[in-house]
Homo-oligomer: A and B are copies of this chain.
């Protein structure tokens, strides 16, 4: 009998408090599968954010610490100085990373910190009950945009991957999605690549993971996956935005020429 799929030993057996169908569980598992397959569990340190995944350390079977809201990249910076050879990741939501923690993530990229950030973009503040995030789509209803996000009042959503890709120190930037088994397979490959690049100490790695929040979107898990495909992906295009060896400054120079 061949094993097609067994729950990775990178995860504890602790049952999660996530809502039914929440993709945080998938993202967690993929990271830990990759680390397990690369035999890095014993070398890994992770940081859970303030957000629904605040208890990620309960589920992931590696050394971990909690971060104050938004500060995980600064904490990672400190950890990497002490253990330059460890495998280090932050796991952050869109409120945590793209709002309160903007400065920390930009400057981790700026310094070319040698760790990997898994950025879970579910277009909403999950933990606090569904407020607008910087990645909330125009028209999307949240508890602080009850008529739908207005471009006039709140602007258009931030595309973090694109922004981070303008920073020299961010050597690997890619956006993936978790909406289907095939997307999940692709995502896992990207995760693996990011960890490999970290091992080579080339610079900062950033993976934006399009995710769902069935509870605060007010949709069933299945409908949430569909909404992700039909609404999020068109605005947040999947793909690689930066990889080692890309011409310096993919974006700016070109525009500077105008």
Partner of A241, one of B157, B161, B252: B252
Given contacts A156-B169, A168-B155, contact A252 B107 (CB under 8 A): no
Interface assignment of A100: CB less than 8 Å from any CB of chain B: yes
A139 within 8 Å of B (CB atoms): no
Per the bound structure, the CA–CA distance linking A148 and B163 in Å amounts to 27
Among A99, A110, A168, A253, residue most surrounded by chain B Cβ atoms (within 10 Å): A110
| Contact of A257 with B241 at beta-carbon distance under 8 Å, contacts A110-B158, A111-B154, A169-B156 already known | no
A85 to chain B minimum Cβ distance, whole angstroms, is: 16
Chain B neighbourhood of A106, CB < 8 A: 102, 106, 158, 163
Selected contact of A156 from candidates B157, B161, B168, B251, CB within 8 Å: B168
Size band of the A side of the interface? 35 or more
CB within 8 Å of B: which of A95-144? 99-103, 106-107, 109-112, 134
Contact pattern, A 237-258, Cβ under 8 Å of B = 1, otherwise 0: 1111110000001111101111
Question: Which of A100, A155, A161, A250 has the most chain B CB atoms closer than 10 A to its own CB?
Answer: A155
> Scoring A residues 156 to 173 as 1 if CB is less than 8 Å from chain B, else 0, what string do you get?
111101110111110000
Shortest CB distance A98–B (Å): 9
Chain A interfacial positions (CB closer than 8 Å to B): 99-103, 106-107, 109-112, 134, 151, 153-159, 161-163, 165-169, 175, 237-242, 249-253, 255-258
Ranked nearest first, the 6 interchain pairs of A and B with the lowest CB-CB distance are A162-B252, A237-B256, A156-B168, A102-B103, A155-B169, A112-B155
